[in-house]
Amino acid sequence: MLNCPHHISWVRPVEGGLHQCILCTQVVTKKDVYPKLEDLTEELRRRWDAHEATRPAPAPPSPPEKPGSGS
C-alpha cells in the first residue's frame, strides 16, 4: 500500500527535523508531498525549512577500537 500521495495536510513535523505522513507513517521529503511544496504558500515552505533546519548534524563515525593497545 505505497500509493499514498502524502498529501500536505497529512504531513507532520516529527523529531529530528523530519516530516512524516500520518496516513502511511512514511518519512517524507519536500519532493514526496502533494501538492508540491513549490505550489504551496510561502509560509508553509518557510515552516518546512525551519523545521528541517532543526535536524541534528550526522554524528561522526567513531574510530574502530584497536584491540591490544595500552596495558
Binding footprint of Zn ion on the chain (CB under 5 A): 4, 6, 21, 23-24
Strand partners, 20: 12, 27
Q: Which is nearer to Zn ion, 1 or 57 (CB)?
A: 1
What is the rounded distance in angstroms from the CA atom of residue 30 to the CA atom of residue 47?
A: 12
Question: Which sign, positive or negative, has the C-alpha torsion 27, 32, 36, 42?
Answer: positive
Query: How near is the Cβ of 44 to Zn ion at its closest, in Å?
Result: 17
Shortest Å distance, C-beta 11 to Zn ion: 8
> In whole angstroms, what is the distance from residue 68 CA to residue 60 CA?
24
Least separation in angstroms between residue 12's CB and Zn ion is 11
Q: CB-wise, 25 or 62, nearer to Zn ion?
A: 25
